Chain A
Amino acid sequence: MSAISTSSSAGDAARTPERPKRRSFLRLLLRNRLAGLGLVVLAAIVAIAILAPILPLADPNATAPANRLLPPLSEGHLLGTDELGRDLLSRLVWGTRLSLFMGVAATLVAALLGSTIGLVAGYFGGRLDNALMRSIDMLMAFPYILLALAIVAVLGPGLLNALYAVAIVNIPFFARNIRGVTVGLSHKDFVEAARLSGMGHGRILVSEVLPNVMPVIVITMSTTVGWMILETAGLSFLGLGSQPPQADLGSILGEGRKVMLTAPHVTTIAGITIFLLVMSINLVGDGVRDALDPRLSAGALARPAPVTRIARAKNADDAAPPEGSPALAVRRLSTRFEVGERIYRAVNDVSFTIRRGECLGLVGESGSGKSVTALSLLGLVPSPPGVIRAGRVWREGEDVLSLSREKLRALRGGRVSYIFQDPLTTLHPLFTVGDQLVEAIRAHRPASHAEAWTQAVALLDRVRIPAAADRAEALPHELSGGMRQRVAIAMALANEPDLIIADEPTTALDVTVQAQILALLDELRRESGLALLFITHDFGVVSQLCDRVAVMYAGKIVEEGPTQAVLEAPAHPYTRLLIACVPILGSGKRALDAIPGLPPAVDRLPDGCAFAPRCPRATAACKEGEIPPVSVADRRSARCLYAGEVMRAATEGSAA
């Protein structure tokens, strides 16, 4: 899971904004091609607007009735003239200057007032927060533009008044966004520390909180400045903003409208200018947001495909199907997460076999690749970024990973089903559990809704849910954690599978419920003779439930064998430590913190044995070359140079 946890921790980092380094910010911004294009266009427009006074332009207000409504490309008037014969190019440049100024000024005013309200409300909390936010809500009770109109009605039409109106209307966006972030910050250690050191509230807000809130302010500004330009132009268009002879782009458009039928070029040129201006700002704004808050960027939200991407090398020597007819046989499976240049080898050359009716435990720390292994079996690893690069998953003489989409779909939840870790997130929150069961049934065999519902209730009954008929009507959040997991088990049983893959099904539960669920699983398994792949980090659970066990470390199976034999004499130093940190068998939650050090990052695997940095027995030889699995006893193997000695030491240790 380390690749997954890496990406989610990147998400966490994005949620608590920090000031990024300026150079990397600009680089991020420019990596986005559209944002770069927007920046170029915007820079050009801004430059022209700023340079307006020194550009060789005609007087924008000089009327010339003789020259009225000249078309573009007329002599002396590149873009033609308006209905009073004024030079359109000049008016446009000056209008752009005015519109830009209005939009930016309105944004600054809104940002200043809104951020202040948000900072104060979020920092002080309590009644002040309540009062401020209620007032903000009141502002938001008005439709956006209507409020601006009401304000202009009060202040009277005019340039500055339109600017104030648009600014006020946008205050709530700033206040809400900034308050949200500030609330989160006001209890952070560094703020508490500043408070204890006797710093005044004002100074804390400015020197401790503000810098951390700044990215949010910048994002909100960059996403609202476009609107504000549009809104101020709109008010001018209605005749409520800039007053003649002064004209912003909206006024030019509004005036042009009167002569639209005879001289459409006036409105068209003004319209295109506003459009280009706002679009370039929006492009840059999106770029800024993506750069400052990567979680929101398009790439971070890649949609997982229905089946994991499978891209295996042709000349693999793994093609031979297994002997006999096991429930499942995995051969040399490799699943990787490929994120840009980085490659996380989450599952690395993994092979194992589950015989019919057998329970195999797959044990390892989080990040060992055990869950990714489980998900790979039916192509459920999210991709992007997951890719299955090698291996076969044999079942009934066929390679599951080569099946057609439709056959794979029929297998999923049919003969092979899954139980996942936390049923609160793995059940759909908005459908009743009964409906979710009905769906599972009807995905695999034709049945009317009523028939399927009866079966669903029977299934709930089978997993010992009391008052099953009533509970079927419940939504997942209305049930307890244990009940929810029973529902998930019922769902897995819906189509009488012969193999259930259970991925840490009890980890999210408390100890007593855990024991009940384990007992239920064991009972069901013996009752219907199904095979079980049980994934856990807890050796105690394995010893209760599993016939055989495979131990995973850094994407590889490092030891495999019958549970009893492995427990008595582990052949791999890692297994040995794992077993040692189970204090009481089956007490669950105990993390594997007793092993010093951390598992290696699977994008930077060391040469040789991946466990070497933490291994008490490691020698120089351990750090060279691949360590192949060696057979240490009947149906037992381990990937350790000293497997035999480790095993012997364990036997002697327990004998002693």
Chain B
Amino acid sequence: MHLYIAKRLAALVPILFGLTLVVFFIMALIPGDPALAILGAYATPENVARLNAQLGLDESLPVQYLTWLGNLLQGDLGRSYSLNRPVLDEVLERFSATLILAGAALVLCTIFGLLAGIVSAVRQYGLADKAVTLLVLVGISMPSFWLGLLLILFFAVELRWLPASGMYAIYGGGDLPDLLSHLILPAATLAAVATGVVARLTRSAMLEVLRQDFIRTARAKGLPERRVIYVHAFKAALVSIIPVIGIQAGFVLGGAVYIETVFQWPGIGRMLVQAISTRDILLVQGGVLVVAASYVLINLLVDVLQSLVDPRVKA
């Protein structure tokens, strides 16, 4: 087990390295002169040249990359010109807000997706199954940004139960109930699609497993049907469900972009959208890199979890 984790950790190094390469060179592809973008159209050529030198942009690309990587390893992602603060500080602050949102959504979609999927499989073709199938279909066809707006209109504007925006508790302003009341709507919105996907897959994984020979064995040895389904079938189905939950982690991390915009959640997705419109390239670079790196770590966690459920993959 430890060996497996160690191996997986070692395999992280090239992936993370690859990530830095991709992120750096994507950003290097940006047409136009960043210094010009920063200084505006009326900048004098001397000023542009000075800023270019300052940013190291007059070096060759590989040199620039190495300098950038060196700085990165020291925790220096550069300075955001639009916010005038270190990129890393901004990114970490924003990312923690996104993690809360995405984490909550992931928990929601796992719980409800599994429940709905199991009920649906157990009551195949029954009323519950049809209801779940319909909800799943609605869930995965619904643009999440519109769902968010609908929820705001209904719960925040119409019923005034929950706030539509204004989540600042992360910065030390509010307490836990305040955070939760701000979290419910965006987390539910973000979880909607993922719940549908998890439910759909859980249903088919359970149905697939329930046809297996070892389920017949479980029945032949006289186990109560509850145990056959919730222990034997579910554990075997988890093997194919866990990777899908891992994929959903990526979907909620990315999908947070829309939800943060709709609910004005101070997360990294909204930061990225703003940074893209202000052409704050270093900020985009840092944000993308941190989110992607965290996604790689999440995938590692998922794999470890998988190996706990299914010891056959250990080798």
Contacts and interface: CB of A to CB of B under 8 A. Distances in A.
Interface residues of A, number: 77
The 10 closest A-B pairs by CB, nearest first: A145-B254, A413-B221, A271-B146, A413-B222, A279-B141, A143-B254, A412-B222, A143-B250, A425-B213, A301-B207
7 contacts: A234-B143, A282-B140, A302-B207, A380-B219, A425-B213, A426-B214, A428-B217
Choose among B145, B292, B299 the residue with the greatest number of A CB atoms under 10 Å from its CB: B145
B170 interface: no
B312 A475 contact: yes
Interface in B239-297: 239, 249-251, 253-255, 257-258, 261-262, 269, 272-273, 275-277, 281, 284, 288, 291-292, 295-296
B220 A429 contact: no
B18 A427 contact: no
Chain B's interface size range is 35 or more
Interface stretch (A208-216, A257-265, A338-346): A257-265
Nearest to A237: B145
Contacts of B255: 144-145
Contact of A282 (B141, B224, B239): B141
B279 to A, nearest CB: 8
B137 interface: yes
A466 B274 CA distance: 68
B132 interface: no
Contacts of A417: 220-221
Choose among A296, A303, A411, A440 the residue with the greatest number of B CB atoms under 10 Å from its CB: A303
Given A283-B137, A382-B211, A275 B22 contact: no
Interface stretch (A85-93, A147-155, A628-636): A147-155
B222 A410 contact: yes
A304 B211 contact: yes
Contact of A267 (B149, B212, B257): B149
Given A145-B255, A430-B310, A230 B143 contact: yes
Choose among B275, B281, B292 the residue with the greatest number of A CB atoms under 10 Å from its CB: B292
Contact of B257 (A238, A261, A268, A426): A238
Given A142-B250, A488-B217, 15 more contacts: A142-B288, A144-B254, A145-B255, A146-B292, A153-B276, A157-B277, A240-B276, A253-B149, A257-B262, A260-B152, A278-B142, A303-B122, A420-B213, A427-B214, A429-B312
Interface stretch (B85-93, B175-183, B228-236): B228-236
B206 to A, nearest CB: 8
Interface string B171-200: 000000000000000000000000000000
B62 interface: no
B225 to A, nearest CB: 5
A477 interface: yes
Contacts of A302: 124, 207
Contacts of A491: 217, 221
Nearest to B281: A153
B273 A238 contact: yes
Interface of B: 15, 18-19, 22-23, 26-27, 29-31, 121-122, 124, 137-138, 140-146, 149-150, 152-153, 157, 204, 206-208, 210-225, 227-228, 232, 235-236, 239, 249-251, 253-255, 257-258, 261-262, 269, 272-273, 275-277, 281, 284, 288, 291-292, 295-296, 299, 309-312
B220 A380 contact: yes
Contacts of B142: 275, 278
Choose among A148, A153, A302 the residue with the greatest number of B CB atoms under 10 Å from its CB: A153
A282 B137 contact: yes
A146 B277 CA distance: 15
A414 B146 CA distance: 57
Interface string A453-481: 00000000000000000000001010000
Interface in A189-223: none
A199 B23 CA distance: 41
A146 B213 contact: no
Contacts of A443: 221-224, 227
